[in-house]
Amino acid sequence: MAFIEFEKSVKKNDWSMNDLHSHSHYEIYFLSKGSRHFFLSNALYKLTAPVLLVIPPHVMHKTEGGPFERFNLNVGGGDLDSFQKESLEKNALRLVSLNPEEAKALTQLFEEVEKTDKRDKHAGQILRAYFSYFCVLLYNLHSVKLPDKKTENNMPPLVLKIVDYLNGHYDEKITLEELAQNFFVSKATLLYNFKKYTNCSPIDFLINVRLTKAKELLTNTKKSVQEISEMCGFSSANYFGLLFKQKEKLSPAGYRKLQQQKI
C-alpha cells in the first residue's frame, strides 16, 4: 500500500534548507503564503504564493527565502492507480499557479488532512481518500512548464553553469582542479562562490548527484551494485557502498530491498 505523509510548516523569519536532497517518493509542495527561491535539479526558480509544485522521485531540491507557509504531501509510488499517477505525472516539474478560489480549496483540503488523528484505526484509509480527492483537484488545474531560462534568482551564472555541468557529467572523473580550469577561475573563487550559493562544495554536490542517480537505478532497475557504481561515476563499488551508507544509513542492497517492499 502506498504511504502518505503530511506536513505543514510556517516560518516567520528567513529560513533556508541546509542541504540539497532527493527521495524515492513524490512530494507535493503547496506554497500558500510568502515566496521562496526553489533550487530544482540544476536551476533556481522564484515561487510566489499561491503556487503548487509536484516534485517526482529522485530529483534534487532545496528551498530558501523569507517568511512563508507551506503544506507538503509526500506520496510513495506503491499502488497508486492509473488516474492518480497520471494526475501527478502530468503536473510533475510544472508550475501550478492558483487563483484565489483554487488556493482556498487546496488550503481547506490540507487543513482537513492536518486534523486527521494518526491514532485513529482508519487514519490510513482517511488519508488515502483525501489524496484521491486531491488528485481530482490537481487533474483539473492548469500547469505550465518551468521556464528554460532561470527566473529571478540570486545565483550567479558561474554557479549555474557548474551545476549544469555536474548534472550532465556525473558519470565522469571530475576533480576540483579540472572544474576550475574548465571554467577559467581559480579553485578559491570556484569554492567560495559555489559554497556561498549551494551551501556545499562542488565535489559534495557531485556526490549528491551521483547518489541520487544511484538511488533511481537501485529502485527502477535490476542492475548490480557494481554496474550502478560504474554508471554513476564512483571509483569502486566499495567506495560507493561506503558513501551510500554514510548518507542513507543503509547499504545499496538494503536500500533496494526497502524500496521493493514499498511497491
> For the segment 101-143, what is each residue's pLDDT rounded down to a tens digit?
999 999 999 999 999 988 888 988 999 999 999 999 999 999 9
Confidence bin at 147 (pLDDT 50/70/90): confident
DSSP conformational letter for 233: T
Q: What is the pLDDT of residues 35-68, one digit of tens each?
A: 998 888 778 888 999 999 999 998 989 898 899 9
pLDDT for 174: 93
Cα separation, 217 vs 252, in Å, equals 10
Categorize the per-residue pLDDT at 160 as very low, low, confident or very high, splitting at 50, 70 and 90.
Answer: confident
Confidence of residue 154 (pLDDT cuts 50, 70, 90): low
Can you tell me whether residue 6 is helix, strand or coil? strand
Across the chain, mean pLDDT equals 89
Q: What per-residue string of b and e applies to 90-111 under the rule 16 or more CB within 10 Å gives b?
A: ebeeebbbbeeebbeebbebbe
Q: Sorting pLDDT into bands at 50, 70 and 90, what band is 31?
A: very high
Give the Å distances, CA to CA, from 62 to 37, 46, 73, 159. 9, 12, 16, 15
Q: Which has the higher per-residue pLDDT, 229 or 2?
A: 229
The answer to whether residue 178 scores a pLDDT higher than 60 is yes
Percentage, residues of the chain above pLDDT 70: 96
Cβ distance 219 to 24 under 8 Å? yes
- Reading the block at residue 235, the C-alpha cell is 571509483
pTM above threshold 0.75: yes
State the pLDDT confidence band at 21, using cuts at 50, 70 and 90.
confident
